[in-house]
């Protein structure tokens, strides 16, 4: 789920560095990696309280006049992210700049 990407990417990047170092599943982690994994495991407990209410369309008799598909992407040396959303409403204006 895209809303959890900020957490999952923090798990994928350390895993990627372990793979790059050539760590095997049975290897004992030493140094910074175990500290980082314990911190991530602690943060994982907080996700049990996350609730995501979803409402794609308002319950109304009015039909949306305009629909927009909005996209976003970003990247760094370690990861990239993309998101696409559907937006509908009566008076939507474009926010894109030339």
The answer to the question of residue 97 being in a domain is no
Q: How many domains does the chain have?
A: 1
The answer to the question of residue 96 being in a domain is no
The answer to the question of residue 94 being in a domain is no
Instruction: Please state, in angstroms and rounded to a whole number, the distance separating the CA atoms of residues 91 and 98.
Output: 21
- Give the pLDDT confidence score for residue 19 in this predicted structure: 85
The answer to the question of residue 7 being in a domain is yes
- Give the pLDDT confidence score for residue 88 in this predicted structure: 72
The answer to the question of residue 98 being in a domain is no
pLDDT-wise least confident of 7-21, 30-44, 84-98: 84-98
- Whole-prediction pTM: 0.53
- Give the pLDDT confidence score for residue 92 in this predicted structure: 56
The answer to the question of residue 62 being in a domain is yes
What is the SS3 assignment for 54?
A: coil
What is the average pLDDT across 9-23?
A: 84
Instruction: Please state, in angstroms and rounded to a whole number, the distance separating the CA atoms of residues 81 and 9.
Output: 9
Per-residue pLDDT tens digits for 39-94: 888 888 888 887 877 766 666 666 667 778 889 898 888 888 888 887 776 665 65
Domain boundaries, position 27: 2-89
Range picked from 29-33, 34-38, 72-76 for highest mean pLDDT = 72-76
The answer to the question of residue 46 being in a domain is yes
The answer to the question of residue 45 being in a domain is yes
Long-range contacts, stretch 5-13, CB < 8 angstroms, 24+ apart? 5/81, 7/43, 7/44, 7/47, 9/78, 9/79, 9/81, 10/40, 10/43, 11/40, 12/79, 13/78, 13/79
Identify whether the C-beta of residue 36 lies closer than 8 Å to the C-beta of residue 14.
yes
């Amino acid at each position: 789920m895209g809303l959890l990407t900020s957490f999952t990417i923090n798990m994928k990047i350390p895993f990627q560095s372990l793979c790059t170092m050539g760590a095997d599943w049975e290897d004992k982690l030493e140094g910074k990696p175990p500290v980082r994994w314990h911190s991530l495991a602690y943060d994982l407990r907080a996700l049990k309280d996350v609730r995501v209410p979803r409402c794609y369309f308002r319950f109304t008799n009015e039909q949306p006049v305009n629909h927009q598909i909005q996209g976003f992407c970003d990247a760094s040396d370690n990861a990239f992210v993309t998101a696409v959303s559907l937006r509908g409403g009566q008076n939507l204006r474009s926010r894109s700049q030339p």
